[in-house]
Structure 1
Amino acid sequence: MTPFPRMLLFAVLLASAPLGHAADLLVSNVNGYTLDSQGKLQQFQALLVDDGKVVATGSTAELQPRADGARVIDGHGQTLLPGLIDAHGHVLELGYARNSVDLSEIRSLDEALAKVKAYAQAHPQAKWIRGGGWNQVIWKLGRFPTAAELDTAVADRPVWLSRVDGHAAWANSAAIKLAGVTRATADPHGGRIERDAQGNPAGVFVDGATELVDAHVPALTAAEKAAALDTALAEMARVGLTGVSDAGIDLDNYRLYRQYADAHKLTARIYAMIRDTGESFDVISKDGPLIGYGDDFLTVRAVKLFADGALGSRGAAMLKPYSDDPHNSGLLFMSPATMTAKIDKAFAKGYQVGIHAIGDRANREVLDSFAAAYRSHPDAKALRNRVEHAQIVSLQDIPRFLPLQLIASMQPTHATSDMNMAEDRIGHARIAGAYAWQRFLKQGTVIAAGSDFPVESPNPFYGLYSAVTREDHQGQPPGGWYPQQDLSLTQALRAFTLDAAYAEHAEQRLGTLEPGKWADFILVDHDIFKDPASKLWNTKVLQTWVGGKQVYAAKD
């Protein structure tokens, strides 16, 4: 079908718009950029909005006559971009991280212990000290931290701190004792207890083993959950995120989102993925997918499954052992038959499925399970199913994404965060299929970009920078880490806008500033298309607007 000519569509919309009330907002005098529905970059000077949706983009001279009686915002020449969409984040977890012991910026074990101790002293009423964000690779320990070390910071109360990737956690001796974990405790399926030379629990629990301690941690209160959501929404607005695919919610999260949507308190659009196909799924899916609830602020039409763990904790399931741990090939969380059954259950209810897969063995299992499930549900390819992370994929498996019509939901900052250890973990040969963005794009696979926050920063400009440069914020390594896989800025912007919206079945309503779509946009402090790529990560968001309403303004 031949695309409708853009200029003709623009003219029709102008001609057919009501003369008496053409718009209620004009944002003029801007350096505007948007993609069109074909992914081509367009520029404009003004944006006309009515009832929260885009009427037109164009020059100020063209649109000013249509703005009679409208609120006029002078952009003062600032750069205006479509609101950015994170295709894989964890909203409540971001709030929890910020409201507890946050070790995401900590650079050493000693610094981490000092922060935990200070937090405990400042919160004497807390029965448990909770938090996370630690990364032993950055600390250059060459090992996991221990319970004995954590005891030096807090010994009188249990401490439980999740690793940055969420696939391991660090406990002190009080937490281990309270959980009843001893030398005799066996590793659970899909998990591992790190042990000392005598076989005693050393302090770190990997993947499924974290449940041994999690089961004893007090549940968060309704007030704590609401505070976490408030904190997360505020940070998302500050960094220019107008939408997110929340990769794994439970029934309580769902109910909280419904409450916020009903009260018009959501300041970003949430596309929620139900974690697994258990009790929460059964309740939430009773009436089928929730689509476009509350003026498109809440959609729940996807399921999130997990195939394996993470690379940093060597829990990612690999076809061959780790290069730096030859007796370990990672952890698979379920059998192929179980995974296929879960996919079948979600498909039967009309839900899209996104599956966490980091290692090459996990990715192969996911591809096999989707192929098996499609035999029973051939129409389910239209659900735009996703592989979350698609981080290390065998070169022979990458082409399989296309006939299976799978979206690669990938996180550019994972490459620049992992480059300090990825090749140690899997060796040079397997890197060819790791963080392989151009391999996917060139074969026609859609990439929906995200961050996996709070594993990484929610700041999407960090992601754009990593995608374009494959360098860290100090410009290392010069020229980028395996730069043949980097993206152009237009490709990266598309992955964080139009294609992230596509992964949510929302490209007709979100992702670009075309007529009829929601007016989700941001103003930033420089022209990202003209300035050096080295400035991308340090881009400052000046204003964030969602549905034609301002939800953030930077303080002068």
Structure 2
Amino acid sequence: MSESTATPRTVLLRGGEVHSPADPFATAMVVERGQVAWVGSEGAADAFADGVDDVVDLDGALVTPAFTDAHVHTTSTGLALTGLDLSAAPSLAAALAALRDFAAARPADRVLLGHGWDAARWPEGRPPTRAELDEAAGRRPLYLSRIDVHSAVVTTALLDLVPGVTDLAGYADGPLTRDAHHAVRTAAYGAVTPAQRTEAQRAALRHAASLGIGSVHECGGPDISSEDDFTGLLRLAAEEPDLPRVVGYWAERDVDKARALGAVGAAGDLFVDGALGSHTACLHEPYADADHAGTAYLDAAAVAEHVAACTEAGLQAGFHAIGDAAVTAVVDGVRAAAEKVGPARVRAARHRVEHAEMLTPETVAGFAEFGLTASVQPAFDALWGGEDGMYARRLGAERARTLNPFAALLRAGVPLALGSDAPVTPLDPWGTVRAAAFHRTPGHRVSVRAAFTAHTRGGWRATGRDDAGVLVPGAPADYAVWRTDRLVVQAPDDRVARWSTDPRSGTPGLPDLTPGNALPVCLRTVVGGRTVFVRPQE
């Protein structure tokens, strides 16, 4: 039997493994009125059997808290799922062929939308030219974002829809960046109808639910989506009970606007800089493969003003900062705000920094001092790290090895919240945990348990909730059921992935995520006691 999607029911789950700090040996759980009511042993579960609406036989499955993806662009993710996704294209030629097929299959689209190209991974070593795109798209408007979404290639027909774009900063014959990119992106997404947008949002959220994700943090903003997109997504998630939760962040330096739109913070992708792949992350020293140090969109003074305003208004502030100079500007700005409104108030507000890839010991200490949450994406390292990866090409191997220092952040006491930045990298929570635990730079690795906590409880804490993301009595009944292989225990400070199956450890086990092992398969996802996904029987 299964829980109702309409009204939370009293449910007993039994016969499995329940990941709960309340009882590391739990095999059963009771959910009542949308909350966890009890966790315990199979024998004790008999006392509840007659007083519940449903009994779920877990058949040995694992129950964990549902994941929270702390950085998502929902509409773009849905459009990538339902549209042209070039993230797996092995070459420029293959990407152009996929574009031709896509254009032929979508004759009614006013603007063709695609995402995910990465010339750094193609044997041709270059993005498509505008002439190549014009031909492949049949002379139609086309917006094709790079995998990091900080630059895009477009057709001549799309440029014709944006008067004055050639005079904007970032305009080039090749990929567009900065103001030019924002202008063409606005025009492209403005052509998406409300029905298409809702379809894409629903597709993204249902896909998230199928992966055991119970909550997503939507990072919207005027340079990313639109106010209608943002409010429409929040309304969709509130009105349809079979979808994950959505927590909204609006990236604009307007506290009143963020509150009016329903955002919990004037935060998210409020850009201090750009991205490494597009050479727009702001660095202290120039790129290894370019003669400049990137782009700064906000300085420390602007950061300080925004943090102070948000703190006074009782909202979270937050920034997108990737390069070391950008992260330094954030820490310096937060410090200046703390001098104005008081460090205790700044810490209590739980401001956050998205990505935070290039950190120094000084900025790590600054995060810890002011209670900044690091909203990070371990899949970035899996995709771009390593001695021969994009990071090394952009920065040189020595600087590249310093990126994404998750272990140093945890040692300093910095709160971590894990996410995907979908569609930049796919929604993939167990893959994200694996990427953090098996970082390409061994010194930056964290335990599977620490990564899992950062991807469940950490996402809730990043929004100011300390009572969720864990299966204990009184917590929201947001959980997922998994088919997985053996469970193992890894010590929180174990950086070389030594595993134990000793039940005497008293620590709840987690799946063995050693590379090469299959990742767990989600069988069911429940949010607030309502089932939002059930895998069809195979």
What does residue range 4-83 of structure 1 map to in structure 2 within 5 Å?
Answer: 24-35=10-21, 42-70=24-52, 71-83=54-66
Structure 2 residue matching 1:543: 3-state secondary structure: strand
Q: What is the distance in 2 between the residues matched to 1:536 and 1:366?
A: 39
Structure 2 residue matching 1:461: 3-state secondary structure: helix
Identify the residue that residue 439 of structure 1 maps to in structure 2: 408
1:253 aligns with 2:224: no
Contact kept in structure 2, 1:461 and 1:536, CA below 8 Å: no
Deviation at 1:272, TM superposition (A): 1.0
Higher deviation after alignment, 348-357 or 215-224: 215-224
The change in CA–CA distance for 1:445 and 1:528 in structure 2 (over 3 A counts) is farther
2:111 to 112, 121, 128: 128
Task: Give the AA of the match of 1:256.
Answer: G
1:452 aligns with 2:421: yes
Contact kept in structure 1, 2:218 and 2:246, CA below 8 Å: yes
Identify the residue that residue 114 of structure 1 maps to in structure 2: 97
The change in CA–CA distance for 1:258 and 1:205 in structure 2 (over 3 A counts) is closer
RMSD: 2.2
What does residue range 422-501 of structure 1 map to in structure 2 within 5 Å?
Answer: 422-470=391-439, 481-501=440-460
Contact kept in structure 2, 1:394 and 1:430, CA below 8 Å: no
Identify the residue that residue 168 of structure 1 maps to in structure 2: 151
Identify the residue that residue 285 of structure 2 maps to in structure 1: 320
What does residue range 361-380 of structure 1 map to in structure 2 within 5 Å?
Answer: 361-378=325-342, 379-380=345-346
What does residue range 504-519 of structure 1 map to in structure 2 within 5 Å?
Answer: 504-508=463-467, 510-519=468-477
Contact kept in structure 2, 1:86 and 1:500, CA below 8 Å: yes
Please list the CA deviations of residues 78-124 of structure 1 after superposition, one character each: whole Å capped at 9, or x if unmatched.
11111011111122221122232222222211111111111111111
Structure 1 residue matching 2:128: 3-state secondary structure: coil
TM-score, normalised relative to structure 1: 0.84
Deviation at 1:443, TM superposition (A): 1.3
**Gaps (5+ residues) in structure 1?**
1-22, 195-200, 291-298, 471-480
Q: What is the distance in 2 between the residues matched to 1:154 and 1:491?
A: 46
The change in CA–CA distance for 1:532 and 1:231 in structure 2 (over 3 A counts) is closer
Contact kept in structure 2, 1:155 and 1:173, CA below 8 Å: no
Q: What is the distance in 1 between the residues matched to 2:373 and 2:420?
A: 16
2:351 to 369, 375, 385: 385
Contact kept in structure 2, 1:260 and 1:266, CA below 8 Å: no
Identify the residue that residue 18 of structure 1 maps to in structure 2: none
Contact kept in structure 2, 1:519 and 1:545, CA below 8 Å: yes
Task: Give the AA of the match of 2:278.
Answer: S
The change in CA–CA distance for 1:409 and 1:259 in structure 2 (over 3 A counts) is closer
1:334 aligns with 2:298: yes
The change in CA–CA distance for 1:35 and 1:494 in structure 2 (over 3 A counts) is farther
Please list the CA deviations of residues 436-474 of structure 1 after superposition, one character each: whole Å capped at 9, or x if unmatched.
01011111111111111111011101101111123xxxx
The change in CA–CA distance for 1:90 and 1:161 in structure 2 (over 3 A counts) is same
Deviation at 1:181, TM superposition (A): 6.1
Q: What is the distance in 2 between the residues matched to 1:54 and 1:116?
A: 48
The change in CA–CA distance for 1:337 and 1:284 in structure 2 (over 3 A counts) is closer
Contact kept in structure 2, 1:465 and 1:537, CA below 8 Å: no
Deviation at 1:258, TM superposition (A): 4.4
1:520 aligns with 2:506: no
Q: What is the distance in 1 between the residues matched to 2:246 and 2:277?
A: 28
List structure 1 runs of 4+ shifted beyond 4 angstroms. none
TM-score, normalised relative to structure 2: 0.87
The change in CA–CA distance for 1:528 and 1:414 in structure 2 (over 3 A counts) is farther
Aligned positions, number: 494
Structure 2 residue matching 1:324: 3-state secondary structure: coil
Task: Give the AA of the match of 1:458.
Answer: L
**Gaps (5+ residues) in structure 2?**
1-8, 489-511
What does residue range 227-376 of structure 1 map to in structure 2 within 5 Å?
Answer: 227-249=199-221, 250-265=226-241, 267-278=243-254, 282-286=256-260, 300-304=264-268, 305-325=270-290, 327-376=291-340
Q: What is the distance in 2 between the residues matched to 1:435 and 1:337?
A: 26
Q: What is the distance in 2 between the residues matched to 1:91 and 1:317?
A: 26
The change in CA–CA distance for 1:151 and 1:90 in structure 2 (over 3 A counts) is same
Q: What is the distance in 2 between the residues matched to 1:309 and 1:365?
A: 14
1:400 to 332, 349, 366: 366
The change in CA–CA distance for 1:512 and 1:127 in structure 2 (over 3 A counts) is same
Contact kept in structure 2, 1:240 and 1:459, CA below 8 Å: no
Q: What is the distance in 1 between the residues matched to 2:352 and 2:231?
A: 25
Please list the CA deviations of residues 211-252 of structure 1 after superposition, one character each: whole Å capped at 9, or x if unmatched.
342354344322122111110111001111001121225532
1:208 aligns with 2:208: no
Please list the CA deviations of residues 494-552 of structure 1 after superposition, one character each: whole Å capped at 9, or x if unmatched.
110112211111221x2100100111111111146333522566321111111122211
Deviation at 1:254, TM superposition (A): 4.1
Please list the CA deviations of residues 6-65 of structure 1 after superposition, one character each: whole Å capped at 9, or x if unmatched.
xxxxxxxxxxxxxxxxx81000001221346xxxx9341001111111011111211221
Identify the residue that residue 226 of structure 1 maps to in structure 2: 198
Structure with the higher fraction of residues in strand conformation: 1
Deviation at 1:134, TM superposition (A): 1.3
The change in CA–CA distance for 1:140 and 1:495 in structure 2 (over 3 A counts) is farther
Higher deviation after alignment, 529-538 or 410-419: 529-538
Structure 2 residue matching 1:92: 3-state secondary structure: helix
Structure 2 residue matching 1:348: 3-state secondary structure: helix
Identify the residue that residue 533 of structure 1 maps to in structure 2: 514
